[in-house]
Chain A
Amino acid sequence: MELPDGAYVNLGWGIPNLIADYLPKNVEVYFHSENGILGMGRRARPGEEDYDLVDAMKVPVTLIPGASFFHQADAHLMTRGGHLDVAVLGGFQVSEKGDLANWKIPGAKGSGGIGGAMDIAAGAKKLIVCMEHTTKEGAAKIVRQCTYPLTGLACVDTIVTDLAVIDVKPEGLMLREIAPGWSIEELQKLTGAPLTSPGRAPEIKFI
């Protein structure tokens, strides 16, 4: 469990945004939305949508008691200034040093967009990247050095994939948990940087 009780948490686009729906009942966290909300609640049900009350992905949401609104500069003062306990971002590539690339795929059509990712990467006390372990084509997304445009240097603390939980340490990537049925050798073949493990990594604990 990566989200401690009482934590202030920002969830990025994509997979991270789904996490809010899977929180255990005994854990209370305060979700920050970069468009200026603290204490964001569940998604709005049909009929209760208010399009002035949306998350950063434009999805109508609700508030929990004690919520607050603030302008954009304060929203990112919170991300950048080290006020958030945990931030969860999506990723295209993470390097063994914890560099993150998550905003543009080289050669892709269109402008790309940075959004709040660089501010969040620079300032969160703890940054978790939540992504699939490989690309759709099977290429490693955990690599020695990022080849995609960077979001931030040495900013990632933990990588959570469909196959493993990996901590980024000064000495390299430490395998903390592994998906049931997978061996470390099999996981290493899909990982572009060396994984070290304190013996046999325990299986991922699902909540």
Chain B
Amino acid sequence: MQQKIHPTLESAVADIRDGARIMFGGFGGAGFPNNLIQALSKKGTKDITAISNNCGTRDGELGLMFKNGQVRHVIASFPGPHSNYFQEQLAAGKVTLELVPQGILCERMRAAAAGLCGFYTTVGVGTEVAIGKEERIIEGKRCILEMPIHADFALIKAETADELGNLTYRLAARNFNPIMAMAATTTIVEVENIVPVGTIPPEHVVTPAIFVHRIVQARGIRYAG
């Protein structure tokens, strides 16, 4: 069996180089890979393109990455009213931002996961989001072309992994995590529990192991903001 379990958070993120494109799971305080974010902050990887719904809550969640100046470009839906360090960096011109409607953010990542080269949608037609995008009429409706979002790494949070990497999530902490797991080249998951293969009933698996490359148990920071 391929060994996916990492003994430490540090070893799980050790090869994330400067300039990497990284997806970060989480929404509304739930399901953020807060311990992996801490490890990446300690490692000091720079010039990151961060793909995430939010941009942190002050020092919490992704906030730390902006406080340290580790991010160069953001693809996000709702940076958030308390994303102070991100807003400072944006105002200073140290970070650039692409704002994407939330569901379209998901579908662009899913397109990457599914080997699709883009899709047309009515979402954002006639708004700032449509600027520079190809437009056409489909079934009588104005649509714009949206392109896939790829990433080198996804840093996600799940409740339980088995040793193969099958994942289950807790309550609404699922959110972006299963989508990002499928979309990135390398998916690193922090979990509360690691259980032997066969423990999770197959019909309860949410993210199949094929999408998971590294597993690390982390019970340090659960909610960071």
**Are A118 and B124 touching (Cβ within 8 A)?**
yes
Contact partner of A73 (CB less than 8 A), chosen from B107, B121, B122, B173, is: B107
Mark out the residues of chain B between 149 and 170 whose CB falls within 8 Å of any chain A CB in the assembled complex.
Answer: 169-170
Contact partner of A115 (CB less than 8 A), chosen from B77, B123, B171, is: B77
Mark out the residues of chain B between 74 and 123 whose CB falls within 8 Å of any chain A CB in the assembled complex.
Answer: 76-80, 83, 86-87, 90-91, 97, 99-104, 106-107, 109-110, 121-123
Report the Cα distance A72→B178, complex, angstroms. Answer: 8
Known A-B contacts A54-B30, A55-B28, A119-B123; the reply to A114 vs B100 at CB < 8 A is yes
Report the Cα distance A203→B126, complex, angstroms. Answer: 36
Asked if A37 CB lies within 8 Å of chain B CBs, one says yes
Report the Cα distance A152→B91, complex, angstroms. Answer: 27
Give the chain B neighbours of A51 by CB distance below 8 A: 29-30, 222-223
Report the Cα distance A36→B206, complex, angstroms. Answer: 14
Interface size band for A: 35 or more
Give the chain B neighbours of A54 by CB distance below 8 A: 28-30, 172
**Are B30 and A52 touching (Cβ within 8 A)?**
yes
**Are B78 and A115 touching (Cβ within 8 A)?**
yes
Instruction: Tally chain B residues at the interface, Cβ within 8 Å.
Output: 51
**Are B29 and A71 touching (Cβ within 8 A)?**
no
**Are A118 and B29 touching (Cβ within 8 A)?**
no
Asked if A205 CB lies within 8 Å of chain B CBs, one says no
Mark out the residues of chain B between 17 and 35 whose CB falls within 8 Å of any chain A CB in the assembled complex.
Answer: 27-31
Asked if B175 CB lies within 8 Å of chain A CBs, one says yes
Which residue in chain A gives the minimum CB-CB distance to B83? A111
30 contacts between A and B (CB under 8 A): A34-B102, A36-B27, A51-B223, A52-B172, A54-B30, A56-B27, A57-B28, A69-B169, A72-B53, A72-B175, A73-B106, A73-B179, A75-B175, A76-B107, A79-B103, A110-B91, A111-B83, A111-B87, A114-B77, A114-B78, A114-B99, A114-B100, A116-B101, A116-B103, A118-B123, A119-B101, A119-B103, A149-B127, A150-B126, A152-B126
